[in-house]
Amino acid sequence: MSSTSFQNNLRLLCSYGRSTSDVCRRAGFNRQQFNKYLNGHAQPSLATLRKICDFFGVDDHEILLPHDAFKAIVRLRPPNLGVRQTHFEAALDNLIQRSQTNHEILERHAGYYHSYYAPDPARNILIRTAVHLYKENDAWLTKTVDRKLDDVFFVPSRVKYIGVAMEAFQRITILEREVGSGRSLWASMLYCSEHAQPNYLSGLCMSVETEGRHDISCIRTVWQYLGTQPNLRDMLSKCGVVSKANENLPDIILEGTDNSRRPEELTLYPRI
């Protein structure tokens, strides 16, 4: 660790606070020991260095850079004193990566959908749910509603999920959990549409089954785009158990929700 670089960099960070005393009070540093760091009379331990970096919002390696290089970083990203990110918050930010999300792709897919999946290959039925993909501030969120499943699956007649959506490699990933009991957790990955406006999206979804042995399952899914301002009452009324024999569904939905594997398929891929 370069004593001069660290000393000058720490002084620069402190200049963004009201005073050194205020910085020490808010961060919980020992004032006398902190002054030794500022004067170059002592070097912090690694644990203390991380605490300093967490408080000022800089990385460990950045504060050890030559002063001119560090000054350029701080000029672009001034410290927000006192707003310390927990490890959980850092992990969540890394997962979502809001600053790196391709907003153009998600903007193009924003709106309402009917999603389809076949919960049990032994039954000739599909489940149709209502999904809303939307942006709030700089985050992409989802709200999903299951309806009228109680007669077949012995679950509440209306189940809601909320989740977060992310984009990577032109694929949309959605993680959502059931509202209320929070028992049911779903993870879905969808191919993005190549068109200016989506029509059908295919993908896979994984969940823990709520009945029986609570098995982990992975099944195919198809999302049908309904637009940005559909008739919500009509959209919700069509949700629930759908008989493949009694309802004239497009082939793209029937094929895209078929969970069988062809001889050439070594694993489960989206069909379309």
Just give the CATH number of 3-84.
1.10.260.40
Q: Report pLDDT digits (tens) over 21-36.
A: 888 888 888 999 999 9
The three-state secondary structure class of 134 is: strand
Q: How far apart are CA 173 and CA 196, in angstroms?
A: 19
Res 202: pLDDT? 97
* Lowest-confidence pick of 58-62, 110-114, 252-256: 58-62
pLDDT band of residue 102 (cuts 50, 70, 90) is: confident
Res 230: pLDDT? 96
Looking up tokens 């895209």 gives 256
In CATH, 103-256 is 2.40.128: yes
Q: Residue 156 pLDDT more than 60?
A: no
Res 18: pLDDT? 82
* Lowest-confidence pick of 71-80, 87-96, 126-135, 176-185: 87-96
Q: Residue 85 pLDDT more than 70?
A: no
Select the highest-mean-pLDDT range: 4-8, 243-247, 251-255.
Answer: 251-255
Q: Report pLDDT digits (tens) over 177-224.
A: 999 876 788 999 999 998 888 999 999 999 886 655 678 889 999 999
Q: What tokens were used for 149?
A: 């499943």
pLDDT band of residue 175 (cuts 50, 70, 90) is: very high
Res 151: pLDDT? 64
Q: How far apart are CA 72 and CA 172, in angstroms?
A: 35
Instruction: Enter the pTM of the model.
Output: 0.68
Q: How many CA atoms lie within 13 A of 114 on its CB side?
A: 24
Res 63: pLDDT? 92
Q: How far apart are CA 243 and CA 206, in angstroms?
A: 22
Select the highest-mean-pLDDT range: 47-51, 109-113, 117-121, 155-159.
Answer: 109-113
Integer angstrom CA distances of residue 183 from 12, 131, 207, 214: 49, 19, 11, 11
Domain ranges of the chain: 3-84, 103-256
Q: Report pLDDT digits (tens) over 104-150.
A: 899 999 999 999 999 887 788 999 999 999 998 778 999 999 876 65
